[in-house]
Amino acid sequence: MKMAEVKVKKETNLSDPAEVENRIKELCQQFPHGITDQVIQNDLPHLEPQQRAMAINKLLSLGQLDLLRNSSGLLYRLKDTQSASKMKGSDNQEKLVYQIIEDAGNKGIWSRDIRFKSNLPLTEINKILKNLESKKLIKAVKSVAASKKKVYMLYNLQPDRSVTGGAWYSDQDFESEFVEVLNQQCFKFLQSKAEAARDSKQSPMVQRNSSFATSHEVWKYICELGISKVDLSMDDIETILNTLIYDGKVEMTVIAAKEGTVGSVDGQMKLYRGVNPIIQPTGLVKTPCGLCPVFDDCHEGGEISPSNCIYMTEWLDF
Amino acid sequence: MTAQEVRLCGLLLREHFGEVVEKVGTHLLRSGAQNLRTIIHETGISLDLVKKSLCVLVQHGACVFSSGRKGPGSPTEYQASSDRILRILRYPRYIYTAKTLYGDTGEIIIEELLQRGHMTMSSNVKTVADRLTQNMEEGRSMDYSEVSSAFSNLVETHFLQRCPPLAGLGTTDASTPATPATPANPTTPATLATSATPASTTVPTPESFPDCYKVPHMTLIGRGKRQLSSEDGEEQRNAKKAKLDSDTHGDEGIYWQVNFERFHLHFRDQAIISAVANKLDQTSSEIVRTMLRMSEVTTSPTATCTKPLSANEIFRSLPSSYNIPRPILDQYLTLLVDDPMEFVGKAGESGGGMYVVNLHRALANLARATLESVVQERFGSRSARIFRLLLRKRHLEQKQVEDFAMIPAKEAKDMLYTLLSQNLVQLQEIPKTPDYAPSRTFYLYTVNQLPTARMLLQNCYKTVANLIERRLYETKESKRLLEKSQRIEAILASLQASGAEPEQLTEVEEMITAPEKQQLEALRLHINKLDSAENQVDETIFLLESYVNSTATPAS
């Protein structure tokens, strides 16, 4: 009886490949991290390797199983039911392209790179991409790096900063006015701080130290001003402060801070302060020649010469 | 020597010594050392004029002569020095500095010396006293002793120095004192040209003589003479002058010249002090001033930094009027050392801390600020941002420049290419493969401070030359008008002297019409503007020259 039962079971198993597939799926559900070939073999000891392979291949081709590789060998894992359902009615090529795009994550992938990875003709890929886009499975994002380059990523992903350019871009246009306004506001803040320190009439050391502001303080000031529609991070503000350094208006020092102090990163704090330039505009640029666009073409007796120079005439009559 | 320098030198020579000297001077500058015969042959100027021109140049130190390169007995060769000629541009600044440091007397001493190249102390003192008396009220006059003490002061502070004695030219020594302080003295070059005595080819510096700053004993008693305006007075004065000149005062043969180097050190110190005042505050600059003054005598002119000074010494030397307590001084010194410009450095801990002024670094910083200022004014503050960014980070790719400077790619590209085309920024290619394929090459932008400073220096020379040309042109355009106004002024003066009626005076005055007056006024404004612009550009020239020179001297 028992023998018969087993036999029956075995027979049904063997006769119906769907049963085998169901059993494998059950196993996968039991072990969400994936199962090896050995697990299936242990569970269905009587299954011929050939049949086992057939069943697995079928599941793989249906997109119900994922094939993964780890250190101990191949792993089978049940595929996300959600994505599987999304992909209903898609053919293999579509699934392949979707997979490639999914792998690219929130950095996105260029259609040319999809072609290299999938080995599909470009026209085919374009068709598939259009298809997927209309199903709202993927989206195209314009990259700031190259305005004509579109990258594709899954629909629900937030594009990476390297693609959108972060806070400084809206619709891949660089917001240079926004940057300039922030640049001026930061400088105004640091300058007023330096002035307050100068007017305090304290000892020089105290004066200098109180003219410094941490990047956190600047960040807070900018946030409270409410000039920015988007949320700026402290890194963003530091980028702005760096432009002020390159403008020669601000100096930066790094000091060690106690762990947990507001605005400290890795036990360091960046301090900024407004400074004055060491010289007035130099003498050369106070003359028209110092700013002349045709300086190199200017020769006495030539078409352009100091005697008939219109810039000089304007400057003299000013 | 560049074409720009030669052009500027030529213009300066023409303005101060006339066209013949200009021709000889520029010829010498262009062709290097030459003997008298070649100069005459190549310029086509008569022997007499060439001799006179050379004499003028030698008198002002703008030309040196040495025995020929072809061995003993070969003709003496003359060589012009552009450096010395370019100093002419700075005369107003030397005179102004002497005025601020030593008052009117110092101003006129320096002015006379600059105008005449070199002269003996006695003749200088006499001329200065006469000139000062001239400007005083009736009945007062300037004592010679006052002027000579001012002169000694200038020598003591090394603003004046003795001309180096001419080695082995005994004959010239004997002949020149007979006619001192006459620039166009034709006897000197004649003697020089015929003198076959071999002089050493390397020109000795004045400092190499021990007596360089020694004031000789001079017997000169009296007061400045007032020049009389009447005609016969003039003759009388000339006769008197000739008589006076023949007197001996015990300092014959000792000639004095302006020590430009010393003035330049003073300018450099002033530039550093004002930079500190701008960057930090007034008190810090006073401390730096004190430090620089303390090390004036102990530091060699080419040193990279001053000799170390202890905080105690600095404290003692601070003028009491500043009223800086000791702990505050220490704080200020720490702040100066901490400043990223590093004007002041710390050399040790002894004596309350040893401090130095980093002279060369300060010059480099000032030169860098000058370059930045040029870029800022000419190409806008965003380009200046890129320029500073490159100075700070050395080598950057275009993409990095855009990101750091936060400038949109298109604009940044435009600015970088403009700067590149003006040679303010350089491009370095680093290929990954030997074929220099653009797709496999790094393009790194960079700024080289020293070559850029050199280029701007040339631009400055050209600018000054342009300004002078324009000034000459403006004067030439209104020549008729200027002559007319001069004539009328002369008439007015003579009428006033003869006590004419006021109606007569106004009648003469009205000979210049209102539009003409306006034109003259405009011309005066233009000339003033051009003049002051020349001086301003010279300040830039001075900073850049000092920086370029400071990089040339090996660290001592």
The partner residues of A150 in beta bridges, in order of sequence, read A142
- Is the model's pLDDT at B111 over the cut of 60? yes
Distance from C-alpha of A211 to C-alpha of B339, rounded to nearest angstrom: 14
Question: From the list A198, A287, A309, which residue is nearest B533 (CB)?
Answer: A287
pLDDT band at B179 (very low <50, low <70, confident <90, very high): very low
Give the class (CATH, top level) of B362-447: mainly alpha
The strand pairing partners of A66, in sequence order, are A77
Share of residues in chain A with pLDDT > 70 (%)? 87
Query: In angstroms, what separates the C-alpha of B377 from chain A's closest C-alpha?
Result: 7
* Spatial separation of the C-alpha atoms in residues A174 and B412, rounded to whole Å: 12
CB atoms within 10 A of CB A53: 12
CA distance B274 to chain A (A): 8
Residue A10: what pLDDT? 47
Instruction: Report the amino acid identity of residue B103.
Output: G
> Distance from B333 to chain A by nearest Cα, in Å?
10
Nearest chain A CA: its distance from B458 CA (Å): 11
Best CA proximity match to B272, nearest among B246, B242, B295: B295
**Best CA proximity match to B300, nearest among B24, B550, B105, B17:** B550
Helix H or strand E segment including B161: strand B160-162
Check CB contact under 8 Å for B540 and A316: no
How much of chain B exceeds pLDDT 70, in percent?
A: 87
> Quick one: pLDDT at residue B449?
94
A188 three-state secondary structure? helix
Which pair of structure tokens corresponds to residue B371? 């370059």
Please report, for chain B, the start and end positions of each structural domain, with discontinuous segments joined by +: 3-80, 261-357, 362-447
Domain ranges of chain A: 17-79, 83-165, 176-274, 285-317
Quote the mean pLDDT of chain A.
Answer: 80
DSSP letter string, B37-67: HHHHHHH---HHHHHHHHHHHHHTTSEEEE-
CA distance B174 to B189: 14
Residue range B261-357 in CATH 1.10.10.10: yes
Give me the interface pTM, i.e. the ipTM.
0.80
At how many degrees (to 10) do helices B381-393 and B359-379 cross? 140
**Pair of tokens at residue A129:** 């991409």
B125 CB-contact burial (10 Å; exposed 0-12 / middle 13-18 / buried 19+): buried
**Residue A29 is encoded by which pair of tokens?**
């559900």
* Residues of chain B found within 8 Å of residue A275, distances taken between Cβ atoms: 279
Residue B539 scores a pLDDT above 90: yes
pLDDT tens for residues B437-449? 888 999 999 999 9
Q: Closest Cα of chain B to A267: distance in Å?
A: 22
* Region A173-195 average pLDDT: 88
pLDDT digits over B320-373, tens only? 888 888 888 999 999 999 888 889 999 888 878 899 999 999 999 999 999 999
Of B369, B411, B540, the CB nearest to A283: B540
Tell me B204's DSSP state: P
Cα separation, A187 vs A273, whole angstroms: 9
Q: How far is A97 from chain B (nearest CA, A)?
A: 29
- Which residues of chain A does B4 touch, with a Cβ-Cβ cutoff of 8 Å? none
The reply to whether residue B278 touches residue A239, judged by beta carbons under 8 angstroms, is no
- The more confident residue out of B70 and B97 is B97
- How many interface pairs between A and B have CB atoms less than 8 angstroms apart? 146
> Are residues B537 and A283, on separate chains, in Cβ contact within 8 Å?
yes
For residues B117 and B251, which has the higher predicted lDDT (pLDDT)?
B117
Alpha helices in B340-478 (DSSP H): 359-379, 381-393, 398-405, 409-421, 449-477
Say if the Cβ atoms of A278 and B369 lie within 8 Å: yes
Yes or no: domain A17-79 corresponds to CATH 1.10.10.10: yes
Nearest CA in chain B to A274: B279
Considering only CB atoms, B526 lies closest to which of A183, A278, A316, namely A316
- Whole-number Cα distances in Å, B317 to A257, B301, B314, B329, B332: 39, 22, 5, 12, 15
* Alpha helices per DSSP H over chain A: 2-15, 17-30, 37-43, 49-62, 81-86, 92-104, 111-118, 122-134, 161-164, 176-199, 204-211, 215-225, 234-246, 288-291, 310-317
Looking at per-residue pLDDT, the higher value among A99 and B372 belongs to B372
* Mean per-residue pLDDT over chain B, rounded: 84
Q: Which of A37-41, B170-174, B184-188, B400-404 has the highest mean pLDDT?
A: B400-404
Nearest chain A CA: its distance from B324 CA (Å): 11
- Give the residue ranges of DSSP H helices in B168-259: 170-175, 187-194, 231-246
* DSSP H/E element including B410: helix B409-421
Nearest to A242 among B377, B404, B469 (CB): B404
A276: closest CA of chain B, how far (Å): 5
Residue of B nearest to A167 (CA): B406
Mean pLDDT of B530-535: 94
**Alpha-carbon distances of A106 from A115, A162, B453, rounded to whole Å:** 19, 10, 48
How many whole angstroms separate alpha carbon A215 and alpha carbon A242?
A: 11
CB pair distance less than 8 Å for A278 and B340: no
Of 1.10.10.10, 3.40.50.2000, 3.40.50.720, 1.20.1730.10, which CATH number belongs to B3-80?
1.10.10.10
Contacts of A170 (CB under 8 A, 6+ apart): none
Which range has the worst mean pLDDT, B11-25, B207-221, B474-488, B521-535?
B207-221
Q: Most A CBs within 10 Å: which of B285, B466, B478, B545, as the mutation test of the A interface?
A: B466
Percent with pLDDT over 90 in chain B? 49
The Cα–Cα gap between B424 and A206 comes to 40
Query: Which structure tokens are listed for A96?
Result: 């392949």
Contact A243 B408 (CB under 8 A): no
Q: Over 60: is that where the pLDDT of B237 sits?
A: no
Identify the closest residue of chain A to B462 by CA–CA distance.
A289
Question: Which three-class secondary structure state does DSSP give residue B89?
Answer: helix
| Domain A83-165 CATH assignment equals 1.10.10.10 | yes
Q: How far apart are the first and last CA of chain B?
A: 27
**Per-residue confidence at B247, pLDDT binned at 50, 70, 90?**
low
Do residues B91 and B15 lie in contact, with contact meaning Cβ atoms separated by under 8 Å? no
Enumerate the residues of chain B whose CB falls inside 8 A of the CB of residue A248. 372, 384, 388
CATH, domain range A176-274: 1.10.10
Q: Residue B215 pairs with which residues in a beta bridge?
A: none
Best-predicted range by mean pLDDT (A42-56, A72-86, A212-226): A212-226
Which residue in this structure is represented by tokens 């004695």?
Answer: B165
Q: CB distance A248–B384 less than 8 Å? A: yes
Percent above pLDDT 90 for chain A: 12
Do B526 and A305 lie within an 8 Å CB cutoff?
no
Tell me if B369 and A247 make a contact (CB, 8 A cut-off). Answer: no
- Which two tokens mark A28? 């996968």
B69/B492 Cα distance (integer angstroms): 60
pLDDT, greater one: A147 or A98: A98
Res B234: pLDDT: 44
**How far does Cα A156 stand from its chain's mean position?**
15
Contacts B533 to A, Cβ<8 Å: 283, 286-287
What is the distance between the alpha carbons of residues A227 and A101, in angstroms, rounded to a whole number?
37
What integer pLDDT is reported at residue A88 of this predicted model? 62
Task: Give residue B452's pLDDT.
Answer: 95
Q: Which residues of B touch A252 (CB under 8 A)?
A: none
How far is B413 from B409, CA to CA, in rounded Å?
6
CB contact under 8 A, B469 and A286: no
User: Residue B268: pLDDT band by 50, 70, 90 thresholds?
Assistant: very high
First to last CA, chain A: 118
**Beta carbons of B328 and A203 less than 8 Å apart:** yes
CB contact under 8 A, A307 and B470: yes
Nearest CB to A278 within list B279, B334, B522: B279
For A281, the closest of B278, B377, B535 (CB atoms) is B377
pLDDT tens-digit map of B408-464: 888 999 999 999 999 999 999 999 988 888 889 999 999 999 999 999 999 999 999
pLDDT of residue B385: 94
Contacts of B318 (CB under 8 A, 6+ apart): B286, B287, B290, B324, B329
Best mean pLDDT range from A53-57, A144-148, A288-292, B186-190: A288-292
* Same CATH fold assignment for domains A17-79 and A176-274: yes
